[in-house]
A and B are shown apart, each in its own frame.
Chain A
């Protein structure tokens, strides 16, 4: 208990609270503007936080993350364009409510239920992560290899439209992670005589490039001035937003479904790579089946909006549980946070719960505070936030370009990192145009070292005998899950075919 009180004292320091609020404000703007994702925001701001004390730096990043996910719902409601992928389901009912003159109420529901979902996710994080960490403390290289492999295949299973391209992207990421000094024998690999590559291809400049420059180039490429003009015109004609706060009666009516889907989404978030977009779409679809008024869903149902917004923020607690206890990213943002923790000299995983327990508690408390902070700011600025949508896209493009250069350089004061960032930006653009999701590539790059290091350490332990992965129960179960996930589309196809034949 004393550790929690110390943690609370740490996070309530004026400096930490200030950075949290700065992060929330930044996240609010990033989330509102379509095209600026939470991942991009956290990736660009991460280099900045290295110059702060760890708790302050993390306060800012956690503020950005939580606020950007909730704020994505604002543009989903007001212009039918989700600010972040997590808010896709919010546009189903949110935009219809806005067209009915209930935009203010939709914005209020978005704030309140995002915070509610976020807090439920945090509670799960607080109550379960220590137990999970206690269980995983006995994990060795075999389990970590199996875990990293499982995380990777889960990512590929949800990687864009093409599984083959997702696999290619992910394996290419792992392949690039082999550049640099060999983790066991310290032999130079594929460095081509460049001293900057001895440490390997750094993950953060690649991330900044792919999600920053790559996204800007992609947006410029597909930009349609006529659509932009139509959206501006639409905003001008729908200025009335109405009341913001829902009534007690309305909130009471939503509470059973929102509570159920808050817990459900937290579990979804804990599954590596199953992100907020998936959780909110599944929750919205399932809630419609269970609702007393399913016919209203998609046509302006406040309940539908509440369920989808609960889901997008509840996921974060689950993703953080996986990240902190296993060192496996639950989504793209938690992948950046892993990189960030490593820069502070901490290694996410069960050992962090003993070696840096105080900091783990700080992160948990910051998550709760971030939800409360964005709820307060979100409600105060609900109507004002609509104005942020008027920012010209060209201003955003120019700003992101400069911030990407500054952020990539600030990581290590290295121009080489800027070059890597720029190259990754071009690759990110080509990936996007050719239908390759950048997510698996980033994940592969991040998990590659963990995969290889643990695979080879396990083989050392077993004197080269690969059966070690199947004789240890946890790694065996994880590998079975991995194979099932990998072949799930095939198995599903076979099962459906059998059902169809049986039914004939």
Chain B
């Protein structure tokens, strides 16, 4: 068992309930007499199953008496990973934002440069990697397959 099981079980139960409510709005029973269940039939069954299993997980976690594993625990050495972890997510979001302003190749070059610097690679390596990697992507996808990375 993990410490996060109560929360994750709750999230699944909430998702299940969201689909149950939506399923009732869509109509569960057949609109005709040919035996076809409504559009909400399948989401209702599955929503109920997911909600039930989510609640079961919560109960199991609450009733469990043994030691629970922490899902996001880090030791002293691993704590240093928080910086590259969050900066990777931020850099990806940055790539998506910059992509809307400049073309993809420039955005990808910037991303590759920034992410390598964030991972503490040397300036020389970061620049070379960014040029070579983005160059290969440009040659393969844009020149060879004619994919336009325009939004």
Chain A residues proximal to chain B, CB less than 8 Å: 48, 51, 164-165, 167-168, 171-172, 174-175, 178, 182, 184-185, 187, 189-190, 213, 216-217, 220-226, 392, 394-395, 397-399, 401-402, 405-406, 409-410, 413, 415, 418-419, 422, 426, 430, 433-436, 451-452, 455-456, 459-460, 462-465
4 smallest beta-carbon distances between A and B, as pairs: A464-B35, A51-B145, A394-B119, A187-B39
Q: Which residue of B lies closest to A415 (CB)?
A: B151
Chain B residues proximal to chain A, CB less than 8 Å: 2, 4-5, 8-9, 12, 15-16, 19, 22, 26, 30-31, 34-43, 46-47, 49-50, 53-54, 56-57, 60, 69, 71-72, 74, 77-78, 80-81, 84-85, 88-89, 91-92, 95-96, 99, 104, 108, 111-112, 115-116, 119-121, 129, 133-134, 137, 140-141, 144-145, 147-149, 151
Given the interface pairs A221-B85, A434-B8, the reply to whether A167 lies near B53 with Cβ below 8 Å is yes
5 contacts between A and B (CB under 8 A): A168-B57, A184-B36, A185-B31, A410-B145, A434-B8
Contact A171 B53 (CB under 8 A): yes
Contact A395 B129 (CB under 8 A): yes
Contact B50 A171 (CB under 8 A): yes
Contact B5 A434 (CB under 8 A): yes
A502 to B146, CA, bound (A): 72
- Among B8, B72, B121, residue most surrounded by chain A Cβ atoms (within 10 Å): B8
Chain A residues with CB under 8 Å of B40's CB are 189
Q: Which of B8, B19, B38, B77 has a CB less than 8 Å from the CB of A224?
A: B77
Chain A residues with CB under 8 Å of B5's CB are 434
Contact A221 B19 (CB under 8 A): no
Chain B residues with CB under 8 Å of A401's CB are 88, 91-92, 111, 115
Q: Which of B4, B43, B96, B108 has a CB less than 8 Å from the CB of A190?
A: B43
Contact B112 A398 (CB under 8 A): yes
A221 to B85, CA, bound (A): 6
Chain A residues with CB under 8 Å of B88's CB are 216-217, 220, 397, 401
Chain B residues with CB under 8 Å of A392's CB are 121
Q: Which residue of B lies closest to A425 (CB)?
A: B92
Contact A185 B36 (CB under 8 A): yes
A405 to B133, CA, bound (A): 13
Chain A residues with CB under 8 Å of B47's CB are 175
Chain A residues with CB under 8 Å of B41's CB are 456
Chain B residues with CB under 8 Å of A418's CB are 96
A189 to B18, CA, bound (A): 12
Q: Which of B39, B71, B134, B144 has a CB less than 8 Å from the CB of A185?
A: B39
Contact B81 A223 (CB under 8 A): yes
Contact A398 B119 (CB under 8 A): yes
Given the interface pairs A174-B46, A175-B15, A223-B81, the reply to whether A394 lies near B121 with Cβ below 8 Å is yes
Contact B78 A175 (CB under 8 A): no
A230 to B129, CA, bound (A): 26
Contact A190 B85 (CB under 8 A): no
Contact B39 A221 (CB under 8 A): no
Contact B42 A187 (CB under 8 A): no
Q: Which residue of B lies closest to A403 (CB)?
A: B137
A168 to B95, CA, bound (A): 33
Chain B residues with CB under 8 Å of A426's CB are 89
Q: Which of A182, A220, A226 has a CB less than 8 Å from the CB of B84?
A: A220
Given the interface pairs A164-B60, A187-B39, A422-B92, the reply to whether A217 lies near B121 with Cβ below 8 Å is no
Tell me, rounded to whole Å, the shortest Cβ–Cβ distance linking B83 to chain A. 10
Q: Which of B36, B50, B77 has a CB less than 8 Å from the CB of A226?
A: B77
Contact B115 A433 (CB under 8 A): no
Q: Which residue of A lies closest to B42 (CB)?
A: A452
A422 to B80, CA, bound (A): 23
Contact A175 B43 (CB under 8 A): yes
Given the interface pairs A217-B89, A394-B116, A434-B71, the reply to whether A410 lies near B147 with Cβ below 8 Å is yes
